[in-house]
């Protein structure tokens, strides 16, 4: 994964601080060899104080950058599940599509909607519904690679971006994830609650836009939901360009 802009800023500031510290240290060494005793002592004291102040400033700047990173991650993360929220997932998708355009890559987007989620809330309560959402998120993360992305788009809607994968391989992985979702049960107060989901699958390439990609995957998901009993996965292969 590439460094984000805050990590790059921290690295740049660290280099700048290091350069200044080295310059001041060189000045102290020069003074110690060339100045008179009185001048040498005063200059050395001033430079020592400057080095100390600079070091404190570096620590403060790093803390501020870490705080900015934390706040940015907070803004891109779903608090309940720990997945990307819609904003975070969209940003990840746009980065991925930019790479697809640059390197002629392909991949697959999965749009996932839980089945009969409202009755879970109505029957067992919202705490049970929250647990189902958390368990769904864990299941998604356990079934994707480190370079893939999973997000909660809102409510009981999720998305998974399978990066740099062919249509055939993406479909195989989507079917495996579909089976896992529709066979999974979570325990709640001594009862077993089935998750169940409808999954829409859409391929992407370098000509895809994030808005169109989400739209087609969403449409595929609704096709899957309308199929009734049986498999809850629908494959959409809209060609772009």
* Distance of alpha carbon 179 from alpha carbon 28, whole angstroms: 69
| CA separation, residue 133 to residues 66, 117, 200 (Å) | 29, 9, 18
**Per-position DSSP letters for 160-179, written without gaps between them:** EEE-S--HHHHHHHHHHHHH
Q: Residue 172's Cα: distance from chain center in Å?
A: 24
Which of these is catalytic: 78, 148, 156, 178? 156
User: Is 156 annotated in the active site?
Assistant: yes
Contact (CB, 8 A) for 55 and 48: no
DSSP string of 47-97, one letter each residue: HHHHHHHHHHHHHHHHHHHHHHHHHHHHHTB-TTTSSB-HHHHHHHHHHHH
Q: Within 13 Å, how many C-alpha atoms sit on residue 201's CB side?
A: 22
d(CA 223, CA 147): 28
Catalytic residues: 156
């Amino acid at each position: 994964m590439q460094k984000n802009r805050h990590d790059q800023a921290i690295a740049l500031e660290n280099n700048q601080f290091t350069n200044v510290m080295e310059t001041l240290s060189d000045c102290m060494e020069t003074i110690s060899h060339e100045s008179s005793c009185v001048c040498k002592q005063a200059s050395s004291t001033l430079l020592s104080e400057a080095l100390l102040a600079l070091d404190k400033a570096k620590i403060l700047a790093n803390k501020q950058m870490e705080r900015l990173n934390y706040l940015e991650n907070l803004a891109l993360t779903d608090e309940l599940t720990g997945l990307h929220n819609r904003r975070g997932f969209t940003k990840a998708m746009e980065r991925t599509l930019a790479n697809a355009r640059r390197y002629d890559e392909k991949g697959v987007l999965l749009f996932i909607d839980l089945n009969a989620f409202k009755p879970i809330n109505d029957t067992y309560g919202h705490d049970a519904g929250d647990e189902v959402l958390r368990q769904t998120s864990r299941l998604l993360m356990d079934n994707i690679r480190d370079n893939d992305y999973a997000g909660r788009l809102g409510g009981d809607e999720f998305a998974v971006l399978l990066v740099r994968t062919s249509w055939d391989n993406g479909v195989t992985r989507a079917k495996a994830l579909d089976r896992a979702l529709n066979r999974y049960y979570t325990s709640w107060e001594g009862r077993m609650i089935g998750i169940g989901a409808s999954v829409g699958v859409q391929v992407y390439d370098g000509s895809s836009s994030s808005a169109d990609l989400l739209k087609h995957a969403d449409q595929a998901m609704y096709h899957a939901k309308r199929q009734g009993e049986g498999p809850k996965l629908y494959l959409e292969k809209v060609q772009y360009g």
